[in-house]
């Protein structure tokens, strides 16, 4: 989970243009951007190049400015500080108020300081420790291995999959293997040919623009899928209003989207156990909504796809074990419930809170 700064910038990316990601400059799609331009912004760009439209879009948003001679130098190695500036700019991070990251080799008067500080605060970069000093190595070139981590972290690509990418120069035990897998799965890059990723090779300035564009395309699809799946689950919880056992009200429920709290009020403890088994997170509709696993408090997540009935019994047992029980009454306050959800090939976790109380008739 990223720091709060990262969460805020992801939210901002939903409404702004390329300054908050590769969503495109204004209403013009990135794919058609190059065709809309009468002349290239930089004199050394190839209009037929894969990176042409991506570089122009970054320039249009003021993310990149090129060199004083009017060139962009797309084939020039990009440095770590230049990459930090571009990434922080596309994510629309606050580069003015970020706390001091503590790097001993980054001057606070440098034009890159704010970008590096913002990315560090967002958890995208962390630097390293050399001879007891925290350093960022701002002027060094960015390797493709380092790029894989920055892109995966910045755009929150899944990094929990086993390494199966077809690159012979990256092994599963290397620190960057999970990031290489993430950007490979997201079609950010397919390597440098001949089955090689080129982990130690430097990233070019033009390549970086393209990597960012592809990552943001993936990020846009991911956020749309998450929004759709989350709304379906929220709607189901909102509609899960009331349950009845043998004509007598035993349980009523309510859901608050803002707080993520699902509230259960028990009127008839004897009938409530049966009703709760078909209520909210324990409903048989959860798998239909893309929920694949449910985690209650500190218990291990329970897969609900292979054997739903057995999974439900386990979850009910875990939930009741977490509640306060007094006679026939049972209560829970802000019990953490985390759903693992899949939609459109994307997976995410959605946290909730479960509140259970017993109503005492007057």
* Tens-level pLDDT at each residue, the chain (362 residues): 344 344 333 333 332 222 222 222 222 334 333 434 434 479 999 999 989 989 998 888 888 888 899 999 999 999 999 999 999 988 889 999 999 999 999 999 999 999 999 999 999 998 899 999 999 999 999 999 999 999 999 988 888 889 999 999 999 999 999 999 999 998 899 999 899 999 999 999 999 999 988 887 777 777 888 899 999 999 999 988 665 555 566 778 899 999 999 998 887 766 666 777 778 898 889 999 999 999 999 999 999 999 999 999 999 899 989 988 777 677 889 999 999 999 887 788 899 999 988 875 54
CA distance linking residue 119 with residue 137, whole number of Å:
14
Those residues with Cβ within 8 angstroms of residue 104's Cβ, 6 or more apart along the chain or in another chain: 133, 134, 135
- pLDDT for 271: 63
- pLDDT for 74: 94
CA distance linking residue 255 with residue 184, whole number of Å:
39
Q: How many helices (H) and strands (E) does the chain have?
A: 10, 10
| Predicted structure pTM score | 0.62
Of 360, 340, 342, 358, nearest to 350 by C-alpha is 340
- pLDDT for 20: 23
What does the pLDDT look like over 292-334, one tens digit per residue? 999 999 999 999 999 999 999 999 899 989 988 777 677 889 9
- pLDDT for 46: 93
Residue whose pair of structure tokens reads 């749309």 in the numeric block = 224
What does the pLDDT look like over 55-71, one tens digit per residue? 998 888 888 888 899 99
CA distance linking residue 59 with residue 78, whole number of Å:
16
- pLDDT for 272: 65
* 90, 212 contact by CB (below 8 A): yes
Rounded to the nearest 10°, the torsion over CA 22, 25, 26, 30 is -70
- pLDDT for 147: 96
- pLDDT for 73: 94
């Amino acid at each position: 989970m990223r720091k709060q700064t990262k969460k805020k910038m992801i939210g901002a990316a939903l409404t702004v243009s390329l300054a908050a990601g590769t969503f495109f400059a204004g209403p013009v799609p990135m794919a058609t951007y190059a065709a809309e331009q009468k002349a290239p912004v930089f004199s050394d760009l190839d209009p037929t190049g894969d990176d042409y439209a991506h570089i122009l879009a970054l320039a249009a948003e003021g993310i990149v400015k090129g060199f004083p001679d009017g060139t962009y130098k797309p084939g020039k190695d990009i440095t770590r500080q230049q990459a930090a500036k571009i990434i922080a700019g596309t994510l629309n991070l606050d580069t003015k108020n970020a706390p001091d990251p503590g790097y001993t080799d980054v001057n606070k008067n440098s034009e890159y300081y704010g970008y590096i500080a913002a990315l560090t605060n967002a958890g995208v970069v962390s630097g390293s420790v050399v001879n007891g000093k925290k350093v960022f190595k701002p002027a060094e070139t960015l390797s493709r291995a380092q790029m894989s981590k920055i892109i995966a972290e910045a755009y929150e690509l899944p990094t929990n999959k086993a390494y199966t990418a077809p690159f012979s120069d990256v092994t599963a035990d290397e620190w960057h293997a999970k990031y290489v897998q993430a950007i490979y799965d997201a079609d950010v890059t397919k390597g440098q040919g001949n089955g090689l990723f080129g982990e130690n090779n430097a990233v070019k300035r033009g390549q970086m623009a393209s990597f960012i564009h592809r990552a943001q395309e993936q990020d846009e699809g991911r956020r749309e899928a998450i929004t759709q799946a989350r709304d379906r689950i929220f709607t189901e919880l909102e509609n899960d209003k009331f349950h009845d056992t043998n004509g007598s009200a035993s349980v009523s429920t309510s859901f608050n989207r803002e707080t993520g709290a699902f509230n259960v009020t028990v009127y008839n403890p004897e009938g409530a156990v049966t009703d709760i088994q078909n209520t909210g997170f324990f409903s048989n509709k959860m798998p239909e909504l893309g929920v694949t696993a449910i985690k209650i408090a500190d218990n291990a997540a329970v897969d609900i796809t292979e054997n739903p009935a057995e999974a439900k019994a386990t979850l009910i047992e875990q939930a009741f074990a977490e509640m306060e029980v007094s006679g026939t009454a049972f209560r829970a306050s802000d019990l953490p419930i985390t759903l693992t959800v899949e939609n459109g090939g994307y997976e995410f976790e959605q946290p909730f809170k479960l509140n259970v109380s017993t109503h005492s008739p007057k």
